[in-house]
Structure 1
Amino acid sequence: MKRIFWAISATLLISCFSIQTSWAQLKRFSIGPYVEAGFPAGDFNKTNKTGIGAGIGADIKLIAGLGVTGSVGAMYFAGKTFTDAQGNQVKGSSLSAIPVRVGVKYSLISILYVKLETGAANYIRNNSGSAFILAPSVGVRLLGLDVSAKYEAWMKDGNLGFFGLKAGYNF
C-alpha cells in the first residue's frame, strides 16, 4: 500500500512540475494593448497640452530577470494658446506621431522592473520626419497588468520631452 501511495505521489509531483515548467515556457512571450498619457516638460509644456496615446506592446523574457521589449502606437499632443516674447497670443501646433520603440527590461524583484527603450517617433500630419526616442522607465507588472512611469525625450532639431504614465495588459 505504501508503494502505491509513494508511486502516485511521485507521479503527481512530476506531473505538476512538468505542467508548471511548460506553462512557464509559454509565458516567456507576452503581447497586449496599452494606453498612455504624456505630460510635456520644459519648452514643450509652453506650446502643447497633455498628450494621449495607445498602442500594442510585447515582452520577451530572456534569462535571470532580463528581457527585451517592443511597442508601436500613436501619440497626440494638442497645441495650446500661449503668449510669445512680444506679448502676442499664439496657438501652438498640435503634434501627432507614431512611436516605434525597442528596449531592454530588467526585473529588480518579481513585480518591479526598470526599462530603457529607444526608437523613432515618426511624425504625421503637419510635421514631417522622425525623431530619435530615448525613454527610461520604472514599472510594476502584476499578473497581466503592467503600469509604468517614464521620462521620454524625442530628439530632432532640439528636444521634446515629457513625463509619461503607461498602463497595459499583457496576454
Structure 2
Amino acid sequence: MLKTLYTAGLFMAATCMFAGKAKAQLKGFSIGPYAEIGTPVGDFKDTHNAGFGGGLNADIKLIAGFGVTGSAGFMYFSGKSYDIFDIEGNRVTVKAESIKALPVRVGLKYKFGFPLLYVKAEGGSATFVGGDSDAYKGTAAIFAPGIGIRVLGLDVEGKYEMWFKDGTSGFFGLKASYHF
C-alpha cells in the first residue's frame, strides 16, 4: 500500500514540477484536478451506495486527433445494509464494508471531426486501502471506456468503469476536470 501511495505521489509531484516546462515544449500538454461520482450497477449496487472521488488528470495531444491521458486519485464507496438468509433460513441484516481505493489509469483518447467531442478508453489498477476483508485488500485491474466533451479547460466525461478482482464491480461515472 505504501509503495502505491509513494508511486502515485511521485507521479503527481513530477507532473506538477514539469508541467510548465512541458507546456512550453509540448503545446498539447495539460494537467488539472478532477472530481467524479460513480453509481454502482449489477450486484455492486446491492451492496454499495454511490461513490465519489478526486485526483489529478493529465492529457497529451498526439497526431490526427489522438491523445494520451492519465490520472491518479482516490475513490470511495460506502457500504449498504442488506438482508441475507443464514443456513437455518433466518433473515440476517449485514452491512457491506466501505471501499476506499487509489485508482491509477492511463489510456488513449480520440477527438472526432467535431473538435469538442471525444471518446477514450483507459486501463490501470485500483489499490484498496484500509480494508478488513480479503475482497477489499490488494489491487483490482481497471477498464474504463468513456465519452466526453471539452470546452476550453473544462472537461466533462461520462464513463462505465469496471474493477476486476474476484469478480467484477462496475459503475457508471461522471467525471469533471479543469485543465491548465
Shared fold (TM-score, shorter chain, > 0.5)? yes
- Equivalences, count: 149
1:158 positional shift: 0.3
1:85 positional shift: 3.9
Instruction: Find 2:145's aligned residue among 136, 141, 151.
Output: 136
3-state SS in 1 of match to 2:128: strand
TM, length-normalised to structure 2: 0.80
Aligned to 1:9: none
Say yes or no: does 1:125 pair with 2:125. Answer: no
Instruction: Find 1:93's aligned residue among 89, 92, 97.
Output: 97
Match of 1:133, as an amino acid?
Answer: I
Aligned to 1:106: 110
Mark the structure with the bigger radius of gyration.
1
TM, length-normalised to structure 1: 0.84
1:84 positional shift: 1.6
1:14-53 superposed Cα distances (whole Å, 9 cap, x missing partner): xxxxxxxxx9975310000000001001010001000000
Aligned to 1:147: 156
1:83 positional shift: 1.2
Aligned to 1:8: none
**Structure 2: tracts of 5 or more residues without a match:** 1-22
Match of 1:53, as an amino acid?
Answer: G
Could you tell me how far apart the structure 1 residues matched to 2:147 and 2:85 are? 37
1:117-164 superposed Cα distances (whole Å, 9 cap, x missing partner): 000001100131100000000000000000000000000110010000
Could you tell me how far apart the structure 1 residues matched to 2:27 and 2:35 are? 22
Report % sequence identity: 57
**Structure 1: tracts of 5 or more residues without a match:** 1-22
Structure 1 residue ranges (4+ consecutive) displaced by more than 6 angstroms after TM superposition: none
Superposition RMSD on alpha carbons, in Å? 1.5
